[in-house]
Amino acid sequence: MLKNRQENMEPSYSRVEAYCPNKCTNRYGDLLKTFVTTAHVAQEWIVNAHGHWEETKDDCSDVTHGPDIGNDWTCTKCGETAKFRGSTTSHRKILTD
């Protein structure tokens, strides 16, 4: 279930491309294209009558907000803040749909 939801988020940034300004490469010499950023997820909890956590029912039952270029994306290799190229206007439009 979670996998499908993550796939559904992908078109959100299909028109923009993040890149490391230091042009980091992977072990094959290709430009590294993985970044660290924040996604907001929701968990389903079992709570007691006062709303205190008792048990986590589902580790990640929903993605409430996928990766956003408004947040920092950092290179997984050097930690540098990524830059973006492509149509950020389209990206914003999709995010608000």
Interface residue with Zn ion, options 8, 78, 81, 83 (CB under 5 A): 78
Kindly state the tokens that stand for 57. 């029912």
Counting contacts by CB under 5 A, is residue 81 touching Zn ion? no
- Binding to Zn ion by residue 24, rule CB under 5 A? yes
Strand pairing report for 16-19 and 83-86: antiparallel
- Least distance (Å) from Zn ion to the CB of residue 81? 9
State the nearest-atom distance from the C-beta of 18 to Zn ion, in Å: 11
Four-point Cα dihedral 72, 74, 80, 86, nearest 10: -70
Binding residues for Zn ion restricted to 28-67, rule: CB under 5 A: none
